[in-house]
Amino acid sequence: MTVTVIPAADRHFWANEWLSSRQSFPGTGNFDIFANAHGVLAMHNDDVVDPGEGLDAHHHQNMEIVTWVVEGSLIHRDSHGHTVTLEAGQAGAMTAGRGITHSERNAASRASGRRLRVIQMWVPPHADELEPDHGYRDFGSRLAAGDPVVVASGRPQHAGSDALTIANRYAALHVARPRPGRAITLPAAPFAHLFVVRGEVSASSRELPRAPIAEGDAVRFTDGGEVTLEASTDAEILYWEMHASFDAARPA
């Protein structure tokens, strides 16, 4: 049983003229993103995109890509006919499958001055060469109660729920906006990844004494128990519950 805390300042940082990317796992440069995975989570980028800017059309294959919008608006277009604008509190889930080309941009005009902040996360599919697809959903109203919400999952127990479906039967993404002074509980898993999107929370488990973690901090759990959180300010967290390692989850 291990717990690793990654302070916000220790994240890998990459930037160009219009993008600032803070990465819990190194995702740009000469890195093997699969060798650096925790559980099945291979990429976890906290990106800020200038108004009117973004990534032009580019190709993906055999990857599940989940995007959580924190601030602003993101427009997604892909080669399978999906054009979607995502706002804060909304998530998109893309199955790249046998191949898909897409672009992602800040939907705001340059004149607006409105930045886009998104968290983008990659997990492998449990089967290759799937039919490419993209889905999205608004979770804002469900998050208002402060309890954890399953936003994206391939776990059998979440089939038929409001969660976006991803093609990884070992993983589920929970999002919460915990209310100050009220504890919430996140599920135990062989691998887990907790990330504070904003605010400050105190996290504790049988392996982790009560410890404050703030915006940009992450905690990785291996063979851990349930995680209890209590927010000291208005907060938002992302929590990946994972029941396999990256290598075990990949198709044979």
> Distances from the Cα of 217 to the Cαs of 14, 82, 201, 237, in angstroms?
17, 33, 10, 10
Strand pairing report for 43-49 and 2-6: unpaired
pLDDT of residue 30: 63
Domain-located, residue 1: no
Determine the pLDDT at residue 231. Answer: 95
pLDDT digits (tens, 9 = 90+) for 178-224: 999 899 999 999 999 999 999 999 988 877 777 789 999 999 999 98
User: Does residue 74 fall inside a structural domain?
Assistant: yes
pLDDT at 212: 87
Tokens of 210: 């009560």
Nearest by Cα to 106 from 124, 91, 120, 85:
85
Q: Is 104 annotated as a binding residue?
A: yes
Please state the φ and ψ torsions of residue 180, each to the nearest 5 degrees: -55, 135
The shares of helix, strand and coil residues in the chain, as percent rounded to the nearest 5, are 5, 50, 40
Question: Quick one: pLDDT at residue 12?
Answer: 93
Cα dihedral sign for 14, 114, 196, 123? negative
CA separation for the pair 49, 106 (Å, rounded): 6
Taking a C-beta distance cutoff of 8 angstroms, is the pair 39, 252 a contact?
no
End-to-end CA gap in the chain: 27
What residues in the chain have per-residue pLDDT under 50?
none
Q: Is 187 inside any structural domain?
A: yes
The overall average pLDDT reported for the chain is 93
Q: What is the largest CA-CA distance in the chain?
A: 50
Domain that holds residue 11: 7-249
Q: How far apart are CA 113 and CA 124, in angstroms?
A: 35
Give me the number of domains the chain comprises: 1
Residue 102 known to bind ligand = yes
H or E element that contains 223? strand 218-224
User: Does some domain include residue 213?
Assistant: yes
Rounded percentage of the chain residues whose pLDDT exceeds 70: 97
Assigned domain for 2 exists: no
Separation CA 173–CA 196 (nearest Å): 13
Residue-level pLDDT at 207? 72
> Any idea what the CATH number is for the domain that residue 240 is in?
2.60.120.10
